[in-house]
Structure 1
Amino acid sequence: MSFKHLIDPKYSKNDYFPIDLSVNNPFWDNNDVSDITVFEEYLKNQRDKTGKYVAHGGYLEQRALYRKSIRFQAGIVRDVHMGIDLWAPAGTSVHAFMDGTVHSFANNDDQGNYGPTLILEHDYNGKKLYTLYGHLAIGDMNKWSVGSRFRESEKIATLGKPEENGGYSPHLHFQIMTDMGKYKGDFPGVAAQVELQHYESIILDPNTLIF
């Protein structure tokens, strides 16, 4: 499968570089990954170091970020990231993974959540797939309606600012599911270690289908 442009197609595959937000990166032992200023400086340094621009990664990454958030520490500890993130400036265009229709959408606007979220439904080799696009701009939501169709690579949204995207440095959270269950406009993007077996056949590795 060829490289998928999930954000602005001016960025080629060669513009992407992996970023480590895991608990194994010692940088986060002494620096607060949830502080946007700290994170943006780290991101700039990584861009300068690699000579590339779009940071990506995070599938099944155990992240330091979630250990600093009450949202993910209440009850069972959830700190494993289930999608991938693509880090680019607010306003960067977001594009459909493949032909599909709008399954649902919502503004999950509590702190630490996705903010504006769009879910598309796809037919893939005779089966249903669902793709989630999180941390989008609020202004895009009036362009969506359940059942409306998007073509592969068509612009569907733009990346939101921290004040509208759940409180994060601008980025796209992208996730692929085989079953939405009862969810609409939302789906868990962070899981506990003990939940991984449950999600194994539901949440797919996006890297195998994008890169």
Structure 2
Amino acid sequence: MLALREILKKHDGFARIINSAKPFKRLDFSASNEALLTRDLSETSVFSQFVFEDMLDRNTFVGFGGYGENRVIYRQRKHFNNEEEEPRSIHLGTDIWADAGEPIYAPLNARVHSFAFNDHYGDYGPTIILAHTLDNVTFYTLYGHLSLKSLDGLYPGKNISSNEAFAAIGSYPENGDWPPHLHFQIIQDIGNNKGDFPGVSSIQNQEHYLNLCPDPNLILRIAENDAPD
């Protein structure tokens, strides 16, 4: 049986998750981005303005990136710095930074695995997990920071067709109190998790989680300055 990464690499029928006409721009939230080191982004309105006005050039791009990135922005969010656990800063998905209300499309046929409103500051907010099967291998995709309305009418086992608009990017504070964006993550084995799965790992556990969660660009296939035809 082919490994999931090889199955995703050879598949050529993925629908676009975001269909914005804007070109894509890769964003950097690691310590390499010196502008982050001198700013207090704990206030979401300030953080949102920084992303859309500064990083996305007055909202002329859709931002993307972040897989495997060691992010400094989590230092200002207690959700990732629990005193009882190791600090978490390694991002396990790809973020797509676009306006609240932007529709999200299923990349391939799916069924709803689970969903939840993870209602804590810095958490996913409304979250949907879809199950997919390719070449007899089942895997999962997670969509975080959605609108609350995205959860309406869902139930486990509901069928979602490829290229079907099934959710939308949420606004803060309902999206976990983040600037509007989608957290998209591939999960090989979801275990007993429902409506939630770690999206950020500690440095100590990054090898385990990055092996469990392949690069989302195997599905997204986004390149800088890429845009729909």
Matched, 1:72 2:80: yes
Q: Which residue of 1 aligns with 2:55?
A: 46
User: Of the candidates 105, 109, 120, which is equivalent to residue 95 of structure 1?
Assistant: 105
What TM-score do the two structures reach when normalised by structure 1?
0.91
> Which structure 1 residue ranges, 4+ long, deviate > 6 Å from structure 2?
none
The aligned amino acid for 1:87 is W
Q: Does 1:55 align with 2:63?
A: yes
C-alpha separation in 1, matches of 2:78 and 2:195 = 22
Q: TM-score by structure 2 length?
A: 0.85
Gaps of 5+ in 2: 1-11, 222-229
Measure how far apart 1:2 and its partner are.
6.4
Matched, 1:36 2:44: yes
Aligned residue among 99, 116, 123 for 1:113? 123
Identity of aligned residues (%): 38
Aligned residues: 207
What SS is found at the alignment partner of 1:194? coil
| Counterpart selection for 1:19 from 17, 27, 39 | 27
Whether the aligned pair in 1 keeps the contact of 2:15 and 2:105 (CA below 8 Å) is no
Q: Cα deviations across residues 32-87 of structure 1 (Å, max 9, x unaligned)?
A: 233333333333223338x8410001101111111112221122010111101001
C-alpha contact 1:31 1:38 (8 A) present in aligned 2: no
CA contact (8 A) 1:5 1:153 kept: yes
Bigger drift between 20-29 and 166-175 goes to 20-29
Q: Which moved more, 1:62-71 or 1:172-181?
A: 62-71
Separation (CA, whole Å) in 1 of partners of 2:128 and 2:32? 31
Conserved 8 A contact 2:15-2:106: no
Unmatched 5+ residue regions in structure 1? none
